[in-house]
Amino acid sequence: MHTELIEIRTGATEQVVDLTRRIDDHLAAAGAEEGLLNVWVPHATAGVAVIETGAGSDTDLLEALRSLLPADDRWSHRHGSPGHGRDHVLPAIIAPSMSVPVLAGRLALGTWQSVCLVDTNVDNAVRTVRLSFLAG
């Protein structure tokens, strides 16, 4: 298995960060041909999703999460910025891991699909993502 921990700087705003190019680099370094790529976010307040980016879907996802998980005082988990408790619920909706098939050295994604980090936690500006390729 070829594994790597990458650092993503999300800053102090909610972010959907496209990881696809970083994953392509990881697969090239691994000499990947066929197998599975696992993407794991070792944080209690972030997840990973397959979504179209650049055409508004990433913005729509953040807006949907704001509607579903408002940043207000309803949350029992109360440390950090106001509404931070919602960030701890996020990984139950946007999972912290996924596996994607790798075929001919490339992610087997659809035309408009990208693998993205989803981070609504404005209190943590730096995230790590573990990429692990398992040859098949």
Above 90 in pLDDT, residue 39? yes
For residues 89-113, average pLDDT: 97
Q: What is the per-residue burial (b if ≥16 Cβ within 10 Å, else e) of 78-104?
A: eeeeebbbbbbbbbeebebebebebee
Strand order, beta sheet including 15-18 = 15-18, 114-119, 46-51
**Domain range spanning residue 69?**
2-135
pLDDT at 77: 87
pLDDT at 79: 86
Confidence of residue 80 (pLDDT cuts 50, 70, 90): confident
pLDDT at 126: 95
Confidence of residue 83 (pLDDT cuts 50, 70, 90): confident
What CATH number did the domain enclosing 73 receive? 2.60.120.460
Number of domains in the chain: 1
Helix (H) or strand (E) holding 100: strand 97-103
For residues 12-20, average pLDDT: 95
Above 90 in pLDDT, residue 50? yes
Q: What percent of the chain has pLDDT over 90?
A: 92
